[in-house]
């Protein structure tokens, strides 16, 4: 290769790797495997060195992602470097040889620990209090995601033990495999795109703008390093792990001290077998010099520390034939295509089926019946078809044609705007019936005590109910014969169903299970339209005029009430005596009429619910975010960014005493 050819190849590789970095770090939607990325990076590095083509903006000089314009950026006091990595045991021995050569002795050992496939973050504690959390970003600067990290239950807000005045914690946010699988199932049911793996799911979740939404994601955390302002030069990584535990931070159970590189290789083989049994994803092993005082001597390159390296496991993949594509109806009507595979052994289990997620995914990968496909376990738990092995072979079958009707009930399928999934909206579609009834009877809806999953399953299986309106036609003698039922428990269930008729309109509206209509939206709709008749007749413009109702919710409400089966069920519920009108509530005053109040922090005597009720009683409404439309902010202890934003916008800020005094209310 001459220099001109090298320049062309270097440009190609830089472009490819920059796009891959953006997809991995910013969009959380990778299109290259780790191994392909690493091999391309090594090729680029070799060409830059051989032909003197190094550049400060090359991917070989960068740690990873960039900081995001959506968050404030923060400078890392100590750079958060990436790790050099290898898939090769000989390269590990070469690494050990370089360490020996630089140090000039063998008086050191290694700490070997699992490499978590998540998102690297740093935490800062001052006087034991969590004050800052940030992403790795570009290694020098990261995104300030403190508010989001405060929702992660594994991260303590205050340290325990004998902690220093200032300590920096390095660690990894991650998701456990089963929690990730459940979350992807929910996203698929909701017609949303699924995450490729737990790592991307974690990274994407931490970059969300709403901490409440982050709190709903099953994010976990392991700490793996501490950085002190005044560090004991004789401290070891093993001792730091002990301190991490003392401070009340979670640390992994598997770090192992090894005296030689041969011992390191033995531990790697043990971890390689162990990883399939762990509840979380690990993509390799990290090998670190245990003695902190030797790390300065070993130093770092612009990108990697010379005192640590990562050994990466190969992703387990297999090739097999795709015999057919079947369709699965989800509990909320989502139609999921499933690959029916020639059985193949993968990660210790026989795989016969794999999710294809949605129609767009099939067409994007051009997957067809009869193809030989590459299958991988995403998160080592969910089999996925990664790609077609032979897309250019002759005599391929025709592209898959997604059906127009539900495979379970023959109802016509629909696709909502901005969604990738086809959906069956027939409320009596058999796979959906049980979950709709469970939701209808749930605590936040009609709160029908005794109507749990097993009872619902029996009622549906015995043909006693086909939708939630049928609950109000049930007779005592029909329920008594059910398994684990007797006359008393059957009577209790009948009484609980009767009691549900007293629930207010907003809870009945929530119980109907209209897509995107949660508890808060149901309350807003009930207030705005006051009766089911007015809501059923509402136009899109009238729905959009209600605060917090966007096009997606408006479309879903209209779709629900234009379905004849739904309107028949609602009519039966009205005839049964459920509340479909708002009760007239006497206002305490109109002092907050037309005003929006945002709550932030912990109030001395009022719970958030109590404060919201007082605001509504005086004609006002609450909002979860501060904007130019906000009239007042009620701030308590530990008020966060909402308070700062209100101050910037010049919005009136109350403490609890001022709030209660203005409204003439007493403390709780």
What positions carry a catalytic annotation? 115
Q: How many CA atoms lie within 13 A of 561 on its CB side?
A: 17
3-state secondary structure 413-474: CECCCCCCCEECCCCCCHHHHHHHHHHHHCCCCCCCCCCCHHHHHHHHHCCCCCCHHHHHHC
DSSP secondary structure code for residue 122 in this structure: E
State both tokens at 492: 């209790």
**Nearest Cα residue to 625 out of 607, 651, 599:** 599
CB 553 within 8 A of CB 516: yes
Q: How far apart are CA 668 and CA 663, in angstroms?
A: 14
Spell out a b/e string for 540-554, using b for 16 or more CB atoms within 10 Å of the CB, else e.
Answer: eeebeebeebeeebb
> Do 139 and 205 touch, CB atoms closer than 8 A?
no
Phi/psi at 490 (nearest 5 deg)? -65, -40
- Residue 39: in which H helix or E strand, if any? helix 34-50
Please enumerate in sequence order all residues whose Cβ is within 8 A of that of 600, keeping only pairs 6 or more positions apart, or say none: 633, 634, 635, 636, 639, 640, 642, 643
| Cα 433 → chain centroid | 27
What does the block give as tokens for 67?
């900081």
DSSP per-residue codes, 140-167: SEEEB-HHHHTT-TTS-SB--SS--SEE
Answer whether 322's CB lies under 8 Å from 341's CB.
yes
Please provide the DSSP assignment of 287-319 as one string.
EEESBGGGHHHH-B-SS-BTTEEEEEPPPPEEE
HSE-up of residue 252 (Cα within 13 Å, Cβ side):
27
Q: What are the backbone angles phi and psi of residue 343, rounded to the nearest 5°?
A: -50, 135
Instruction: List all residues 6 or more positions away from 380 whose beta carbon is below 8 Å from its beta carbon.
Output: 177, 275, 276, 281, 316, 347
**CA nearest to 23, candidates 221, 199, 209:** 199
What would the DSSP string read from start to end of 562-629?
T-HHHHHHHHHHHHHT---BPPP---S-STTTT-EEEEESB-SS--HHHHHHHHHHTT-EEESS--TT
Residues 6+ apart with CB under 8 A from 221: 121, 152, 154, 155, 171, 172, 173, 174, 250
Please answer whether residues 339 and 322 qualify as being in contact, where contact means their C-beta atoms are separated by less than 8 angstroms: yes
Q: Return all residues near 248 (Cβ < 8 A) that are at least 6 apart.
A: 156, 159, 160, 161
Q: Tokens at residue 602, please?
A: 């912990």
Contact 375, 315 (CB under 8 A): no
């Amino acid at each position: 290769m001459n220099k001109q050819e090298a320049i062309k190849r270097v440009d190609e590789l830089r472009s490819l790797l920059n796009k891959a970095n953006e997809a991995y770090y910013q969009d959380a939607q990778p299109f290259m495997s780790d191994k392909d990325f690493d091999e391309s990076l090594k090729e680029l590095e070799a060409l830059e060195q051989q032909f003197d083509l190094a550049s400060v903006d090359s991917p070989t000089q960068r740690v990873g992602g960039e900081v995001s314009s959506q968050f404030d950026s923060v400078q890392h006091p100590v750079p958060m470097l990436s790790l050099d990595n290898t898939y090769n045991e000989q390269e590990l021995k070469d690494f050990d040889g370089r360490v020996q050569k630089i140090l000039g002795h063998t008086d050191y050992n290694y700490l070997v620990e699992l490499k978590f496939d998540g998102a690297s973050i740093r935490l800062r504690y001052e006087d034991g209090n969590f004050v800052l959390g940030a992403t790795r970003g570009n290694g020098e600067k990261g995104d300030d995601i403190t508010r989001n990290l405060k929702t992660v239950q594994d991260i303590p807000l205050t340290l325990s033990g004998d902690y220093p005045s200032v300590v920096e914690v390095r660690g990894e946010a991650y998701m456990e495999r089963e929690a990730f699988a459940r979350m992807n199932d929910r996203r698929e049911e909701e017609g949303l795109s699924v995450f490729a793996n737990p790592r991307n799911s974690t990274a994407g979740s931490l970059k969300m703008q709403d901490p409440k939404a982050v709190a709903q994601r099953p994010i976990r955390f392991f700490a793996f390093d501490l950085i002190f302002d005044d560090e004991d030069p004789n401290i070891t990584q093993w001792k730091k792990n002990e301190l991490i535990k003392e401070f009340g931070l979670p640390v992994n159970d598997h770090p192992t001290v090894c005296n030689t590189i041969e011992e390191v290789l033995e531990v790697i083989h043990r971890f390689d077998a162990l990883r399939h049994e762990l509840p979380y994803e690990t993509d390799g092993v990290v090998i670190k010099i245990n003695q902190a005082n030797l790390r300065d001597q070993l130093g770092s390159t612009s990108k990697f520390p010379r005192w640590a390296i990562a050994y990466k496991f190969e992703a387990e993949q297999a090739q097999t034939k795709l015999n057919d594509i079947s369709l699965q109806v989800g509990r909320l009507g989502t139609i999921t295509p499933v690959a029916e595979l020639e059985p193949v052994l993968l990660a210790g289990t026989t795989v016969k089926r794999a999710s294809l997620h949605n129609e767009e995914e099939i067409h994007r990968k051009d997957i067809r019946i009869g193809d030989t496909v590459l299958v991988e376990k995403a998160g080592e738990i969910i089999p996925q078809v990664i790609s077609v092995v032979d897309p250019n072979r002759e005599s391929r079958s025709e592209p898959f044609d997604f059906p127009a009707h539900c495979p379970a009930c023959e109802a016509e399928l629909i696709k909502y705007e901005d969604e990738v999934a086809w959906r069956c909206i027939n409320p009596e579609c058999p796979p959906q019936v049980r979950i709709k009834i469970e939701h209808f009877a749930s605590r936040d809806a009609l709160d029908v005590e005794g109507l749990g999953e097993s009872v619902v399953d029996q009622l549906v299986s015995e043909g006693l109910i086909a939708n939630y309106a049928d609950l109000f036609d049930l007779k005592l003698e029909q329920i008594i014969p059910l398994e684990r039922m007797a006359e008393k428990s059957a009577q209790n269930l009948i009484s609980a169903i009767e009691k549900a008729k007293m629930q207010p309109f907003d809870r009945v509206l929530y119980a109907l299970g209209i897509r995107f209509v949660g508890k808060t939206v149901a309350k807003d709709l009930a207030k705005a339209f006051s009766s089911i008749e007015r809501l059923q007749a509402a136009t899109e413009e009238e729905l959009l005029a209600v605060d917090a109702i966007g096009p997606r919710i408006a479309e879903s409400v209209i779709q629900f009430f234009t379905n004849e089966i739904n309107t028949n069920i609602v009519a039966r519920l009205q005839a049964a005596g459920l509340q479909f009108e708002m009760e007239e509530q006497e206002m305490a005053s109109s002092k907050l009429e037309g005003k929006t109040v945002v709550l932030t922090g912990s109030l001395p005597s009022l719970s958030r619910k109590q404060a919201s009720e007082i605001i509504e009683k005086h004609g006002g409404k609450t909002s979860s975010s501060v904007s130019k439309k906000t009239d007042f902010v009620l701030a308590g202890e530990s008020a966060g960014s909402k308070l700062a934003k209100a101050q910037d916008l010049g919005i009136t800020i109350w403490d609890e005493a001022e709030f209660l005094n203005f409204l003439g209310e007493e403390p709780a």
